[in-house]
Amino acid sequence: MLGYPLKDIGRNYEKLVDGEELRETPIKAGNAFTFWNPLSHNGYWKDDDFYRPVARFL
């Protein structure tokens, strides 16, 4: 899992996304007080949009 979005930062990332080797998925983690700031990172572990795909991958 990496920060989002990556496609726009370089041609190599763009190729990975376009070739479906890298999937970019926006996730709004956290709550109303944290989703917009760095504290949102703690919310990923409780957000099923994050942990379910990670669990399937693992």
Tell me if 5 sits within 8 A of 23, measured CB to CB: no
- Domain-by-domain residue ranges, the chain? 7-57
Residue among 13, 46, 20, 42 at smallest CA distance from 54: 46
For residues 2-20, average pLDDT: 85
Confidence of residue 52 (pLDDT cuts 50, 70, 90): very high
Whose tokens are 């504290």? That residue is 39
pTM reported for the whole predicted model: 0.58
* Region 26-34 average pLDDT: 83
Whole-number Cα distances in Å, 24 to 4, 32, 33: 7, 23, 24
What is the pLDDT averaged over residues 16-39?
Answer: 85
Higher pLDDT, 38 or 18: 18
Tokens of 18: 């376009």
